[in-house]
Amino acid sequence: MTVIAVFNRKGGVGKTTTALNLLAGIAQRGVRPFGIDLDPQAHLSGVFDTHPRLADDSVYGFFMGQRPLADVAHISASGVIICPAHLELTKLDTLLGKGVNVITRLRVALKKADQAPGPVVIDTCPLLGVLSLNAIFACDLLLVPVSADFLALQGAQQVERALRALEPVFKRRLPRRYVLTRFDARRKMSSEVADLMAIAFRPDEICKTRIAENVSLAESPARHLDIFRHAPQSQGAQDYKALVEELVGTGFIA
C-alpha cells in the first residue's frame, strides 16, 4: 500500500484535480484506491457526492472521536473509497494542537493494513496545520502540484523548505515529486515557471509529465466526474494517465 499526499502551500494549484484524477487513474488499473479528503472545503468529497451532514461522519470523527477510518468511508459510483471532509475540520488545530501523537494519528491508522488495503491518495488544504502535517507524516510520496505561475512556485518552495526542516524528524529524505499543472505552452510564464522549477528542485524530483491547461479538467468536478469518465479523449485525460504511468514506473503505484 502506497500513500500519496497531494499538497502545496498555495491554494488553487490543482491539488484536488490531481487527487481526483490520480484516484480515478489508479481505479482504471483495476485496483480499488482509498481517497482521504483532509481539506475543510471538502471539494473532493463534493465531487464524489459524499458530503456528510454530521462532522462525526467525516474524517473529523476519525480525528476527534477515534472512529476508524473505514467507519466514515463511502464507496463512490466509480469504485473509489472516499473518506469525506467536513467544515468542522477548521477547528482541529485549536482542538488538538500539534503534538507528535496528533500529527502521526493518520500514519498510525494507515499502518494497520485493514484500514486501507489499496493505494491511498490524500487531498489537503494549503495551510500547514494539523491536517496537512498528518498527510505529510502518513505519506510515502508527497506530490506537489505547481500551477504554472510564480506564486504556486513560491508555495512549492515553501513546501521544500518545510520538508528540509522536518528531515531530522523523518530521519530520511521524504520522497517528493513536483508536477507542473495548468501548463500552457503559448504563455511565456508557463515556460518561465518550468525553467525556475528546474533550478529550485532536484531534477529527479520533478515529474516528466506536465498537466496542460485543459477546459475538460475544469468542467469535470462540477459534473461529479473524473476526467476519464467526463472526457476520456481530452488532453487532461491523457496527461493524468501519463502521470499515473510515471508514478507506476517509479514504483510509487503498484
Ligand X SMILES: Nc1ncnc2c1ncn2[C@@H]1O[C@H](COP(=O)(O)OP(=O)(O)OP(=O)(O)O)[C@@H](O)[C@H]1O
Residues that bind ligand X (CB under 6 A): 11-17, 39, 41, 43, 125-126, 181-182, 211, 213-214, 217-218, 221
Query: Contacts with Mg ion in 9-68 (CB under 5 A)?
Result: 15-16, 43
> Cβ of 34: how many Cβ atoms within 10 Å?
25
What residue 79 binds from ligand X, Mg ion, none (CB within 5 to 8 A, per partner kind)?
Answer: none
What residue 218 binds from ligand X, Mg ion, none (CB within 5 to 8 A, per partner kind)?
Answer: ligand X
What residue 14 binds from Mg ion, ligand X, none (CB within 5 to 8 A, per partner kind)?
Answer: ligand X
What residue 13 binds from ligand X, Mg ion, none (CB within 5 to 8 A, per partner kind)?
Answer: ligand X
Q: List Cβ neighbours of 73 (8 Å cut-off, separation of 6 or more).
A: 34, 81, 82, 83
Residue 111 identity (one-letter amino acid)? K
Q: Are 14 and 211 in contact (CB under 8 A)?
A: yes
**Min dist. Cβ of residue 246 to ligand X (A):** 16
Q: Are 174 and 138 in contact (CB under 8 A)?
A: no
> Which residues pair with residue 59 across a beta bridge?
none
CB of 15 or CB of 177, closer to Mg ion: 15
> Which residues pair with residue 145 across a beta bridge?
179
CB of 110 or CB of 231, closer to ligand X: 231
What residue 185 binds from Mg ion, ligand X, none (CB within 5 to 8 A, per partner kind)?
Answer: none
What residue 17 binds from Mg ion, ligand X, none (CB within 5 to 8 A, per partner kind)?
Answer: ligand X
**Min dist. Cβ of residue 238 to ligand X (A):** 12
Q: Is 8 in the site for Mg ion (CB under 5 A)?
A: no
CB of 16 or CB of 181, closer to Mg ion: 16
Distance CA 234, CA 217 (A): 9
Q: Is 182 in the site for Mg ion (CB under 5 A)?
A: no
Measured between alpha carbons, how far apart are the two ends of the chain, in Å?
8
CA proximity to 63, closest of 33, 38, 100:
38
DSSP H helices in the chain: 15-28, 43-47, 59-65, 69-72, 92-96, 100-103, 105-111, 130-138, 150-170, 188-200, 215-219, 227-230, 235-249
**Min dist. Cβ of residue 149 to Mg ion (A):** 16
Q: Is 114 helix (H, G, I), strand (E, B) or coil?
A: helix
CB of 2 or CB of 21, closer to ligand X: 21
Residue 104 identity (one-letter amino acid)? T
CB of 16 or CB of 115, closer to ligand X: 16
**Min dist. Cβ of residue 177 to ligand X (A):** 16
CB of 72 or CB of 146, closer to ligand X: 146
CB of 8 or CB of 190, closer to Mg ion: 8
Interface residues with Mg ion (CB under 5 A) are 15-16, 43
